[in-house]
Amino acid sequence: MKSWPYPKIVAHRGGGMLAPENTLAAIDIGASFGHTMIEFDAKLSQDKQIFLLHDDTLERTSNGQGIAGELDWEQLSKIDAGSWFGQIFAGEPLPLLSQVAARCQQYGMMANIEIKPTENLESETGRVVALAARQLWQKQTAPLLSSFSIEALEAAQQAAPELPRGLLLDEWREDWQALITHLDCLSIHLNHELLDEKRIKQLKDFGLYILVYTVNSPVRASQLLAWGVDAICTDAIDIITPNFGA
């Protein structure tokens, strides 16, 4: 079985519920609580710059409008991605993947990069993100690449086969074994509500590491860890802290 260098607790979108998601400010706050791994979402601008954003559109988490992937980086770089969360974060920009890699190195922090393609850019996003991750994280623990997009993971596998991959599923699929084998995934990343002790044993017996999202209840987190889950992604980064369950 391949090694799993990642910690048990992962800070969701950098700072969980305590900061505007997918920003450098969020990573700073995650680090301030001692977290040693973050999860975040990466996509491409129109001119192929890799930046952080969860949604296809800008409205929910910024003062921008429209489909982010249809704008070039010069336009995206001027967007305020902090004020929606709180005035203390006003002017917080959308970060580039390169800036996030530097922050991770600064804090000695590991990364789960979720590849979030804009529609019809699945393969290109997977390829470009994987190649950049290989380059940017050269002197750090290899980032864990994950995606709901099979096409994006296939492209990442072809571009940088040595980087570990995780298949993201929000609904249970009976063909999970075939998908994992095809993509040569190290891990499976599941909505925690899909899991019980029996299903976790089935996944572990297949040789998989399991990351679950998004667990904000300490009781549920303890239960999942006791059943054998390897990593928990949480928004409650001030409650489910790095030494949780130790």
pLDDT in tens, 80-107: 999 999 999 999 999 999 999 999 999 9
241 is written with which tokens? 């802290």
Tell the burial category of 205 from Cβ atoms under 10 Å away from its Cβ (0-12, 13-18, 19+).
Answer: exposed
- Judge whether 54 counts as a catalytic residue: yes
Instruction: Indicate the pTM of the whole model.
Output: 0.98
> What is the per-residue pLDDT for 134?
98
Give the chain's mean pLDDT: 98
Longest dimension (CA), the chain: 50
Compute the radius of gyration of the chain from its Cα atoms.
17
pLDDT tens digits for range 44-61: 999 999 999 999 999 999
pLDDT > 90? residue 191: yes
Give the SS3 label for residue 45.
Answer: coil
pLDDT > 80? residue 38: yes
Q: Which of 12, 35, 189, 192 is catalytic?
A: 12
> What is the per-residue pLDDT for 185?
98
Alpha-carbon gap, residue 211 to 15, rounded angstroms = 18
> What is the per-residue pLDDT for 29?
98
Alpha carbon distances (Å) from 229 to 122, 219, 234: 29, 14, 14
pLDDT tens digits for range 206-229: 999 999 999 999 999 999 999 999
Segment 162-184 mean pLDDT:
98
Segment 36-50 mean pLDDT:
98
Segment 5-28 mean pLDDT:
98
CB count in 10 Å sphere of residue 22: 29
> What is the per-residue pLDDT for 2?
87
pLDDT > 80? residue 15: yes
pLDDT > 80? residue 238: yes
pLDDT > 80? residue 1: no
> What is the per-residue pLDDT for 246?
72
